[in-house]
Amino acid sequence: MSRQAIYLVVFVLLSLFSAFGRKKPIQRKSGPAVVQVTTHLVQVNVIVKDDHGHPVPGLAQKDFTIFDPTERVGSVNIPLDRVPSQQQPARQ
């Protein structure tokens, strides 16, 4: 067998191995569109006082609602640093 014939056989074999040895590309199923949203934390400090100017004790998260400007939005998270229900008398 001549060198050209050997090269031809090697070339054909390598071509066959590379053609049949390839894995099929992974096809991903098209799912629903992905929506990315940016959110912002809005912090609002609130002091609730009665008609006499005293802080109102015992308010809970359910006592607050946020509107923007006319529709209800977001949720309310009340931190633990509430005003105590009993005010300490002012020192003189």
pLDDT tens, residue order, the chain (92 aa)? 677 777 777 777 777 666 566 666 677 777 788 888 887 777 777 888 899 998 888 888 788 888 887 888 777 777 655 555 555 554 44
Find where tokens 């633990």 sit.
80
Could you tell me if residue 28 is inside a domain?
A: no
Could you tell me if residue 59 is inside a domain?
A: yes
What residues pair up with 15 in beta bridges, in sequence order?
none
Could you tell me if residue 53 is inside a domain?
A: yes
59 and 48 Cβ atoms separated by less than 8 Å = yes
Could you tell me if residue 34 is inside a domain?
A: no
Give which of 42, 40, 37, 38 is closest to 66, Cα–Cα. Answer: 42
Could you tell me if residue 35 is inside a domain?
A: no
Segments forming the whole domain that contains residue 50: 44-78
Q: What is the pTM (predicted TM-score) of this model?
A: 0.38
Could you tell me if residue 56 is inside a domain?
A: yes
Alpha-carbon Rg for the chain in angstroms: 37
Could you tell me if residue 49 is inside a domain?
A: yes
Number of domains forming the structure of the chain:
1
